Each structure stands twice: as structure tokens, then as C-alpha cells.
A = this chain, B = another copy of it.
Amino acid sequence: MNQSKILKDLISDNLVSDPNGARGRLLKEAARLFRDKGYERTTVRDLAAAVGIQSGSLFHHFRTKEEILKAVMVETIRLNTALMQAAVDAAPTSQEKLRALVRAELESVNGQTGEAMAVLVFEWRSLAEESQADVLELRDIYEKLWLDTLESLRQEGRLLADPFVVRRMLTGALSWTVTWYRPERGGLTLDGLTDQTMAMMGFAPGA
């Protein structure tokens, strides 16, 4: 199952918005603005201007500004859970599953959905506590993918550290790439960056 097929399925199930529709376009622009300027510094007037409507008209689609932030996060997490699930299923061994997860997360963070993923990481505090709980529930689903894979490696003796700790370290390390990784300069590709991440943990490429 390829990536665009996964996206289409989610759209037809109403789990993520069609990026060509009004709602989807707004969420895309919102993600970009929230990442670039931060949620607090982005005004509803900025958001409205980005999609060419008046600020008041936003509230026809969303009840509050915070609902926009939550929608960005929820839809992003849904899409990426599906992508990661597919990546894991396609890989045969534990080490290859880990590589697939690292690669998928790097792509989430630095690719198409990068803006939204950055928002998920850096604008967490701006979500109301009640909304945080809802999003956390979704996040647990895909955290399990990581933990199962890391647990297998641990049992195979190929990982020295605690899977829980490693997952959290990787969350930080991979998310942080959004602040410095620029594929257009330096010649480091996403595959190259994936190899470097694996190498950092002592996994030689192709082994």
C-alpha cells in the first residue's frame, strides 16, 4: 500500500481533510504559520489572510483558534500512524523495521507533513489540557509500533539500552532534525540521515 493510497483512504473515511478542500487548505496554511511564527504569534487575521478570507469567516469553519491547532495535530498524527504502520509491516527483520520507522519519522518531520509535525512537537503547550488528553490517546497507538520493534531488538541482544528510554531519545533526536536538516544544502539525503541515525546506535548499514 503506497503513501497516496493511504492518504486517500483516510480522506474517504473522514479521518483527515482533503488538502484541496477549504478546510484542508486552511489546516495546511495553519501548520505552516504555526511552525514559522508559533501558535501564539499567529493571529486569526494571519490565518484568514493566508487562505484569502476575512478573519471572522474563520469561525464559520472552526469554533475557536485552538480548535484549528488541535485539528492540525489530530490529522497529522492519524496520517503518520497509518504511514508508520505500513512501513513496519513491509519490513521483515527487527533491524529493518527500526530503520523503516526512523526513515518514516524523518520523512514525516522533514517532508510534506513536516510543518504539521513540527507543530505537534513544539506547540504542545498551547493546547488546552483537555485537548492534550485526546491527542495523547492517538499518539500512544503509534508509540506502540516503536516499542514493539525496540523490544525485539533488545531481546535479540542488539540493543543495550532500555526500549522506553531509547524511544524517547529518538523522539527528541529525530524531531530536532527539523531545526537543522536542510537536504538542499550539504548533500545529506533522507536515506543518508537514516543511515547516520542507525550508525549512531551502532547499526552498520546493510547489516
Give me 13 other A-B pairs in contact (C-beta within 8 A), A37-B125, A40-B40, A169-B200 excluded. Answer: A40-B41, A122-B122, A160-B202, A160-B204, A165-B196, A165-B200, A166-B196, A168-B177, A168-B180, A169-B197, A172-B175, A173-B176, A201-B202
Quick check: is A170 within 8 A (CB to CB) of the other chain?
Answer: yes
Quick check: is A138 within 8 A (CB to CB) of the other chain?
Answer: no
Q: Are the CB atoms of B180 and A176 closer together than 8 Å?
A: no
Q: Which of A169-196 touch B at CB < 8 Å?
A: 169-177, 179-180, 188, 193, 196
Interface residues of A (CB under 8 A from B): 37-38, 40-41, 122, 125-126, 159-162, 165-166, 168-177, 179-180, 188, 193, 196-197, 199-202, 204
State the number of copies, please. Answer: 2
B-chain residues with CB within 8 Å of residue A196 when the two chains form the complex:
161-162, 165-166, 169
Nearest chain B CB to A42 CB, angstrom units: 10
A122 to B123, CA, bound (A): 9
A188 to B193, CA, bound (A): 30
Can you list 5 A-B pairs, Cβ within 8 angstroms, ordered by A? A40-B40, A162-B196, A165-B196, A169-B200, A172-B175
Nearest chain B CB to A171 CB, angstrom units: 6
B-chain residues with CB within 8 Å of residue A125 when the two chains form the complex:
37-38, 41
The chain B residue sitting closest to A197, CB to CB, is B169
